[in-house]
Structure 1
Amino acid sequence: MYYYRLYGMLLESELCFPEADELTPPVTPDATLTLGMPPEWVVTEYRQGKFSSITEQVMWFRLYDELLVYVEQGSKAIVWKLDPALDEVRMRTYLLSGAITFLLLQRGYLLIHGSALCCKDKAYLISGPSGSGKSTTALHLMKQPGILFASDDICAIRTENGQSILYPGPPWQRVCADVMRRDPDSEYTYIREADEKYGRKLTDSYCRKPLPVGGMFTIYRDNCEELSCEELSGSEKLQVLTHNLFRGELLNLLGITPARMTQFLSAVTSFPIYKIARPQNRDTTKEIPEIISKYINDVRFLVFPS
């Protein structure tokens, strides 16, 4: 068995994840991940043509006729490999954004889709639609002194004592092909996803400890002439947060319970959210990191107003 700390969760896994830093036993795990057949009722439903079954504490889902993942009570995940030809890199990619994600959801984490960096003992989230420039922005910011990688794709947050705390993910950064080509000094692995992603494992310059969230920057392409950044408030702030949830489609199945709404409201009142509108017709690759860097290094920004 292998042991990892992923997003603050201690995981005992039958599958090796080279993307993560392995822990040395003894470890008392919070959750386990094993390979094999799920409960018989799941197999029966799958063979009857179902694709998934989602409830708050028991979930299973099929991934492209290649994997079936069963997750229970935030403490157990069982992975059934449906396609013997599925290669390990693709399988691990599915699990790091599938089985692990569902365990975190069942354990009460708020999951934001985006990248997370840390600076001056604060975590900063960079979110936005696909193709908005999240990964490119994070790569540029990480070249600045004092800014470290904290998480990619999944930003896992818990509210503790009135603060939103980010729990770092594995030191594994995924980028699209054009970003990879602009970073020739790093060694990337071809993940072979539908959108042609590449990944690299960081050996240094990444954060290992939980940190309070200092702010969230959401990048959008817009029909504007100039790059702009504005702080959001009220319902717009809540709307941007919920539109950038990881696995947000589950809300349609699980519904927004009072506990979940309380979780959202706790987040939006504990850190500022900024909207960055970027022009469609010109390259702002270097300008966006400069804007975010100014906010991060501004003492007035680091102290969130009461």
Structure 2
Amino acid sequence: MSDYDFEFRYKAFGFNIASNFLLEGLLPAEGPPEVYIQEGKVPVEVPGPQDSHAYTVLEGDGFAFRVKDIGTFLVLGGTHIIAEKNESCEPEAHVLFILGTCMGVLLMQRGLLPVHGSALALEDKHIIITGQSGAGKSTLAAALNRRGCSFLADDIAALQEDEKGESWIVPSFPRQKLWRDTAEKIFGSVNSLNRIPGVRDKYHVQMDGEFIKAPKRLDALFELTTHSGSEVAVSEIKGPEKLMVILRNIYRPEIIEFMGKQKEHFMRCSRLASSLPVFHIERPESGFTVDEQIKGIIHSLKQLYHHNN
């Protein structure tokens, strides 16, 4: 295929993308394409029955995987994504996997570190909010979005290392995904939101705050967890546990193992842990405490800023 076959041009995660189909929610490109995304036949055999989840690793930095009822995907050399839809795939449901798992693999192939979390600006600092599924990171990020905080990323915060070893957050695209219950807590209802195809009860939310289009240096990472207490507690993590927090909040970490990149990945995370302030936010298991969580983050950032000056 020539560049003429890729009529749509976008920018995400710091690179220009050419696509042969529409990808809603991405920003327009600013230069020649570096990554190509296409719908078409995946020229790779993924093992196992067609109705099963499976993956295969290819020579030359390739990764192919199949998602039941959605399709088969190939990510090659940090430059190409090919998506082959199943006949039973709901219209546009495969896009979630292109902008999710495929993009995570592509980032790894291009040497960026994908953290599973939201990246945003608060108190003139640029932070990532992460945490295990169900911890409430999307709710907290959505509340900050509603307050007008500027965002860099929603689900995948991609980090690029500069020559000094500092990590920069690369902007993704100005969209947030929320489950129905979270969306109802934040917005009152989902009537004005668009449901994401292929996922029950998940919706797209436009950013209320400005979307930051230039990379920003990462100033701190906050991991959200739940506890049995009744108060929100924010505490700075020191020592080896910082590395553990980073390692457990990488986007699709199992793929790093499949691709045989464990050693370089561990070293990259170690360098990040050695210089990055990392905090725990512990919230009560029940109740709606986002206001207290935000106060705790702001207090921690102010202390950190004051201490460093």
Structure 1 and Structure 2 fold alike (TM over 0.5)? yes
CA 1:256 to 1:71, structure 2 compared with 1: closer, same or farther past 3 Å?
A: closer
Aligned ranges for residues 223-234 of structure 1 at < 5 Å?
Answer: 223-234=228-239
How big is the shift at 1:44? 7.0
C-alpha distance in 1, partners of 2:41/2:140? 41
How big is the shift at 1:23? 2.6
How big is the shift at 1:204? 5.5
**Of 175, 181, 188, the match for 1:172:** 175
Match of residue 91 from structure 1: 94
Asked if the contact 2:46–2:55 (Cα under 8 Å) also holds between the matched residues in 1, the reply is no
How big is the shift at 1:109? 0.9
**Of 20, 23, 27, the match for 1:14:** 20
Aligned ranges for residues 232-243 of structure 1 at < 5 Å?
Answer: 232-243=237-248
Which amino acid in 2 is paired with 1:215?
Answer: A
**Of 118, 129, 134, the match for 1:131:** 134
Match of residue 10 from structure 2: 4
Which amino acid in 1 is paired with 2:210?
Answer: S
C-alpha offsets along residues 148-201 of structure 1, whole Å, 9 cap, x if unaligned?
121111110011122110001110101111221131498421115556211123
CA 1:60 to 1:181, structure 2 compared with 1: closer, same or farther past 3 Å?
A: same
Aligned ranges for residues 151-300 of structure 1 at < 5 Å?
Answer: 151-160=153-162, 161-182=164-185, 183-184=187-188, 187-194=192-199, 196-202=201-207, 205-255=210-260, 257-296=262-301, 298=302, 300=303
Deviates more, 1:63-72 or 1:239-248: 63-72
Deviates more, 1:94-103 or 1:248-257: 248-257
CA 1:200 to 1:118, structure 2 compared with 1: closer, same or farther past 3 Å?
A: same
Asked if the contact 1:127–1:244 (Cα under 8 Å) also holds between the matched residues in 2, the reply is yes
- Kindly tell me the number of residue pairs found equivalent between the two proteins: 298
Deviates more, 1:166-175 or 1:114-123: 114-123
**Of 42, 53, 61, the match for 2:65:** 61
**Of 95, 105, 109, the match for 1:106:** 109
C-alpha distance in 2, partners of 1:197/1:50? 21
Asked if the contact 1:2–1:12 (Cα under 8 Å) also holds between the matched residues in 2, the reply is yes
Which amino acid in 2 is paired with 1:16?
Answer: L
Asked if the contact 1:141–1:293 (Cα under 8 Å) also holds between the matched residues in 2, the reply is no
How big is the shift at 1:106? 0.5
Asked if the contact 1:121–1:212 (Cα under 8 Å) also holds between the matched residues in 2, the reply is no
TM-score by length of 2: 0.87
Task: Report sequence identity in percent.
Answer: 25
- Secondary structure class of the residue paired with 1:229: strand
- Secondary structure class of the residue paired with 1:269: helix
- Secondary structure class of the residue paired with 1:234: coil
C-alpha distance in 2, partners of 1:75/1:185? 39
Asked if the contact 2:105–2:255 (Cα under 8 Å) also holds between the matched residues in 1, the reply is no
TM-score by length of 1: 0.88
**Gap regions ≥5 residues in structure 1:** none
CA 1:236 to 1:151, structure 2 compared with 1: closer, same or farther past 3 Å?
A: same
C-alpha offsets along residues 47-93 of structure 1, whole Å, 9 cap, x if unaligned?
788821135711000012321111111011111112254211x2221
Match of residue 302 from structure 1: 305
C-alpha distance in 1, partners of 2:289/2:98? 33
CA 1:50 to 1:171, structure 2 compared with 1: closer, same or farther past 3 Å?
A: closer
State the Cα RMSD in Å.
2.6
Match of residue 75 from structure 1: 79
**Gap regions ≥5 residues in structure 2:** 1-6
CA 1:125 to 1:75, structure 2 compared with 1: closer, same or farther past 3 Å?
A: same
Match of residue 3 from structure 2: none
C-alpha distance in 2, partners of 1:295/1:11? 38
